[in-house]
Structure 1
């Protein structure tokens, strides 16, 4: 038999999965972007010079090397990012946000926010997120 904490954790994990699915569907339907692609553009836009080493992007998105390579390939094919070699270490590869990628992100941001708000309400997580935002760090 599961404990109350374990039951609550399972409900939270299921809610997060459902929220992610709803947001992902909205991003795909409205902007042709997968959720990981949207988040990659978001992370890159907030990074110094709008670029990150592939490994850093993988860590921030919690993706493995194979997954980040496929993700970056999709972004490059869509001309949303480009790869650049690290000037100090030729083995280091950067992913750089393009102007087209920044524009695509800006086009999608409002829909992302609306989809997030709707999904949080739908799955009863608004209060939980508000409590997290208002907790001193």
Structure 2
């Protein structure tokens, strides 16, 4: 079994705890202001940032932290709430897109100030500019390695 150093384990545990606490606090703030929950926000922002405000379900699933079945339930709910709509793919009859509606964009814009304040208050306020740069580089390296591994796995299957 691979040995994890005490420093690595401590860093990992603090990362997990800090992430969970930040998400808990931001989620609480969004709920207190009657804004969309974080999981909904993540789906809406992924669509907002996509070309034509639309993504294939499979691509949306790669961009959000939800299981395939969790995303399906989320899409059903967001469609009922009028925040997104489904669109059949013209190129691929089995494929479908999730499309951000005007109301979805409106809810996203209403939630952003609360979310931004949470990022600033619960994350950035504890760090110097230099520490933010170090974290950005560090998480960038980790993410790049994970993306690379995922691409290799995709090529092997």
Q: State the TM-score, normalized to the length of structure 1.
A: 0.87
Give the ranges of 4+ consecutive aligned residues of structure 1 lying more than 2 Å apart after TM superposition: 126-137
User: How far apart, in 2, do the equivalents of 1:7 and 1:106 lie?
Assistant: 37
User: How far apart, in 1, do the equivalents of 2:24 and 2:65 lie?
Assistant: 17
2:93 to 90, 93, 99: 90
Which residue in the other structure is 1:42 paired with?
45
1:1-137 aligned within 5 A: 3-120=6-123, 124=126, 126-127=127-128, 128-133=131-136
User: How far apart, in 2, do the equivalents of 1:86 and 1:121 lie?
Assistant: 41
User: How far apart, in 2, do the equivalents of 1:76 and 1:39 lie?
Assistant: 15
**Tell me, what secondary structure is at the counterpart of 2:94?**
coil
1:130 Cα deviation (Å)? 4.0
User: How far apart, in 2, do the equivalents of 1:4 and 1:89 lie?
Assistant: 49
Unaligned runs of 5+ in 1: none
How big is each residue's C-alpha offset from its partner over 1:87-131, in whole Å with a ceiling of 9 and x where there is no partner? 011111110000111111111111110012111157x4x344343
Q: Which of the pair has more CA radius of gyration?
A: 2
1:28 Cα deviation (Å)? 2.5
Q: State the TM-score, normalized to the length of structure 2.
A: 0.76
Q: Higher relative contact order at CA 8 Å, sep ≥6: structure 1 or structure 2?
A: 1
Unaligned runs of 5+ in 2: 142-157
How many residues align? The count is 135
